[in-house]
Every structure is written in C-alpha cells, then in structure tokens.
Structure 1
Amino acid sequence: MTTTSEILDAARTSLLGVPKEGLGEERSSRWRGERIVRVGDAWHVGVLLLTDDRVLATAEILRAADPGRRGYTADSARARAARRQLALRGGFGEGDVVHVGWSVLDADAVDAGGSSGPLALIDRVPSVRWSPTGGYVPLSDYLRERIALIADI
C-alpha cells in the first residue's frame, strides 16, 4: 500500500517549478493594528495546500488589495474588501493570493486508519473529500488531476 506521505511527496515533486501562494495569519498589535502577515508559502491543490513538509486544509482565500473608495451594496462585500486590505497592510503585494484560516492535517493519522480534515483512509486507500457534501476519491488520482490543471502538464 502506498502511504499518504508518499503520495504527497510525489505531488510535491510534480509541483516543482509551479508558483506557490502565500499563507497568512491574522495578527494584532497596539502599534501595527490588525493585519494578515505571511507565515509561509504553499501550492494550492484543490482542497489541500502543500508546503515543503506539511499538508494543510484550505479555508478562506483572498487576494491582497486596497479597497479604495467604493460604494458597497452588501455588508459582506465591504467586509471582504477590509480583509483584502488587512493582507496588504500585513506585507503581501497588491494582487497576491493569500490563504487564511488553514489547518494542519495529519497524514500519519490517515495512514493509521483515521481521518484528518478532508483526508481519510477508505478501504485502505488514502482518499480525499473534495467538497463537504462530496464523496471520497483516491488521493493519488485527485492530486494527479489537480496538478495537471495547474501545471499545464
């Protein structure tokens, strides 16, 4: 049986040369105020984020931007613009993709027969749930398909 870690390592090798996206965390201080700062980089592969040594589950994805002066028809649009500005204030460049609220997944727990976030061992096959209501698909197939889409293989 191929382990989850082996599948993820193979995916990382396939992604070499593909640009990574920023990982951000919210920070607050008296002097610098609210902001989202860079804490690393990862490849965004569907519902997963792959760093050089970890696998993470995606959460909020935004693009750093200055909201400028705009009228908003919805409070949710205003709040999203404010979040984009927090990333800009935290040091991300204008237009950079930022992943916030991600969580670390445990590949060893999956290989032991458990689950971690969208990852699980289904019939002894490392698998991923690609949406909250979707079913599980084999992790190796999922990664191969997603990497082909982002790497133009």
Structure 2
Amino acid sequence: MSDSSLSAILDHARARLSDVPRERLGELQEGRRLLGIPRAARIPSRGTAWHLGVLLLTEDALLATGDIVRSRPEVRRGFAAESQRRRAELSAAAARGGVPEGETVHIGWQAIDIAGVGAASTPVAVRDGELLVRWSAAGAFMPLGRYVDERIELLRHPPERA
C-alpha cells in the first residue's frame, strides 16, 4: 500500500463529489466564565466536508466522524435520560455558534494522518497491503475503495424517503 493509492482514492472521490452538498464541521467550545458569570458552550463552524459514513472528506483531509447534531434553539424541557439532555445542549450550542437552525454539524471528528494510516485509533487500516475501513465499531473491515464508492452512490442517489 502506498500513500499515492490512498491519495488516488480520495482525489477520485473529491472529483465525483464536486457538485454534492457538504455538511458543516464544528468545534465544541465549552463555556468559560466572563467576570465570574458562566457562559454557555457554543459550536462555531470549522469548515465543511462530505459525509461518507464513518469518514468525512474535505478538500485536503480525511477525518473520522464523531458526533452529529442538528442545530436547534435552546428550549427548556424535561428529559427522561441524561443523554437526551446532553444532545439538546449540543444542539443549542450549535445554534449559539451560528449554525443555521435545522442544519447538521459534525463535532468531535478526528483528522486521519494519511501517512500514518493503520493506527488503531482510526477507522482506516492496512492489512496485507490493502486499504480497508471499519464501518462500525463492531463491524468487519471492507475495502476502502468499495466503501467510498457505495457512500458516494448513497449521497448522489439517496434511498426513497431518506
């Protein structure tokens, strides 16, 4: 496996995705105190990327996905679970960060070092010289090229009512 084969897969994907809308990348900034008053967290924009399942592809980088939230204004409501409360807080933080209401934003993503592909912390690996991607934490590896092709096809032609 060489960096050029990974670069070729990614460059070919970018060319095929050039007219496909991208999704927003954000960075969670926890609130800090200003004159002793706590400020709410916010998620400002840090660019855009094509969402390809467990991967995010930008013009010049490959990222592993993290959390995905939809921007919504803050609303007081009761929650059955702490996880629901946290998701609502993140949605409100996205709105405070300037993400338009209803738009999705990716947070907690991690850059994948193309030169260091195969590190245990990324979904991309090299086995017997073949580039592979693990499409879920419990899922098996599959060839990266085929995975990217399938994801591009889903972006270009989403299933009915998706």
TM-score, reference length from structure 1: 0.90
| Shift in Å, 1:29 | 4.8
Query: 1:17 corresponds to which residue?
Result: 19
Q: Residue type of the partner of 1:151?
A: R
1:71, distance to aligned residue in structure 2 (A): 2.7
For residue 28 of structure 2, give the secondary structure of its aligned residue in structure 1. strand
**How do 1:67-106 and structure 2 match up within 5 A?**
67-106=74-113
- 5+ long unaligned stretches in structure 1: none
Distance 1:52 1:151, change over 3 A: same
Q: Which moved more, 1:47-56 or 1:4-13?
A: 4-13
5+ unaligned residues in a row in structure 2: which ranges?
none
Q: How much does 1:16 deviate? A: 1.0
Q: Separation in 1 of the partners of 2:78 and 2:126?
A: 48
**Partner residue of 1:62?**
69
- Provide the C-alpha distance between the structure 2 equivalents of 1:76 and 1:134, rounded to a whole number of angstroms: 24
Q: 2-side partners of 1:29 and 1:36: how far apart? A: 13
Q: CA deviation at 1:98?
A: 0.5
Structure with greater strand percent: 1
**Deviation by residue 1:40-77 (Cα, 9 ceiling, x = unmatched):** 10000010000000000001111000242433222221
Pair 1:147-2:152 in alignment: yes
Match of 1:39 among 46, 56, 71: 46
Q: % of aligned pairs identical? A: 47
Does 2:152 match 1:130? no
Is 1:4–1:108's contact at 8 Å kept on the other side of the alignment? Answer: no
SS in 1 for 2:44: strand
TM-score between both structures, scaled by the size of structure 2: 0.85
Q: Which amino acid aligns with 1:50?
A: L
Partner of 2:10: 8
